[in-house]
Amino acid sequence: MPFDVAALLRPHLRELTPYSSARDDFSGEAMVFLDANENPIGSVVEEELNRYPDPRARAVKERLAPLLDVEADQIFLGNGSDEAIDLLIRAFCEPGEQRILITPPTYGMYRVAAGVNAVGVDEVPLTPGYQLDVASIRAALRDEHRLVFLCSPNNPTGNLMDRRAMLAVAASAPGLVVVDEAYIDFAGEGASLIGELAAHPNVVILRTFSKAWGMAAARLGVAIGHPDVIAVLNKIKLPYNLSELAQRVALEAIAHADRKDAFVASILAERQWLAARLAEVPVITTVHASDANFLLAIFVDARGTYERLVERGVVVRDRSRVILCDGALRITVGTRAENEVLLAALAEA
Ligand SMILES: *Cc1c(COP(=O)(O)O)cnc(C)c1O
């Protein structure tokens, strides 16, 4: 059966004519651009920003595609991956009718984005070992579940989801399965599902420049999937969702991907060092293994420790009231100096 994105799409979007921007309408070589009501003289700031950016960010996609080993038409670029999450829900879930399925404990934005769009959320918790409960997911899936959100490595637990389990979910889902790989750079070779896209056209992968690339402030997120799915996201996004500044730094980043790899190497070494130190802290009972740039640790009195850390100027993420995360604080791997401040504060706390 061929993969039919139109059948999954909300009906009113099948007919929608997208906004056609001035830069979209014209293609070719021109010398005089009088089509977009821009300021022809310049910008009030030093950066030259008086012209609208490329609405399709073609240069970024062309350079990113070989890095991801996909084609440019399989890439959507957004204002953070949060934009892709929102657009996927808006494109494929009819409010009040269709629903998303999530596997808590997991990233909070899936639920929030569904809520903003009046789309219902169903939950199938992870197993106590923080893996997908495939049988329960299969049993819960109904035709109205147009999107399943998986996160691998998962936030806040830090571990990769079993690959075969994710593919089993993709094989049984009635709609799209979104695999959020925000932390994949920290997980070692071969952990990504990108190579499975051809065999599983209903999988959409999310990536971000916010973590390993060190560019959270630039707001650059990526969705990778079947060209027909990506075309839908491009059709309904705001015309200029990526600023010229974001596109410029994206190009610069891609040209220096080796720097990202160097960051990852030092964060991984630091993760190992910090995990060993945390394991010796008396108020910590467990430090979970991590495939990400953070550690989930279980504390005797998580809330109390959290507050005493704050008093000492150290902020971690309290996940202790989240399902399956009793006593848990999520700790980002910092620099050695930051981690030493954390450990000193924990020794006093
Ligand atoms: C941090 C994070 C993101 C990144 O979101 P951006 O909008 O790209 O900054 C996405 N997914 C998960 C699970 C995250 O933890």
d(CA 178, ligand 1 centre) in Å? 13
Answer whether residue 27 shows pLDDT above 80.
no
How far apart, in Å, are the Cα atoms of 222 and each of 113, 180, 204, 225? 17, 10, 10, 10
Q: Which residues line ligand 1 (CB under 6 A)?
A: 80-82, 107, 151, 155, 180, 182, 208, 210-211, 216, 221
pLDDT at 4 over 90: yes
Task: Tell me which of 77, 79, 81, 155 to substitute to probe ligand 1's pocket, judged by most ligand atoms within 8 Å of the beta carbon.
Answer: 81
What confidence category does residue 1 fall into, taking pLDDT thresholds of 50, 70 and 90? low
Confidence check: pLDDT of 22 > 80 = no
Across-strand partners of 122?
101
- Cα–Cα distances (Å) from 284 to 168, 227, 268, 326, in that order, read 35, 47, 21, 12
Is pLDDT of 24 > 90? no
Give the burial class of 272: count Cβ atoms within 10 A of its Cβ; 0-12 exposed, 13-18 middle, 19 or more buried. Answer: exposed
Residue owning the nearest CA to atom 5 of ligand 1: 81
Report residue 167's pLDDT band, with 50, 70 and 90 as the boundaries. Answer: very high
Rg of the chain over Cα atoms, rounded to whole angstroms, equals 22
Question: 221 alpha carbon to ligand 1 midpoint, in Å?
Answer: 8
In the chain, % of residues over pLDDT 70: 100
pLDDT at position 88 is 98
CA of 212 to the centre of ligand 1 (A): 11
Per-residue pLDDT, averaged over 243-256, amounts to 98
Model pLDDT, residue 176: 98
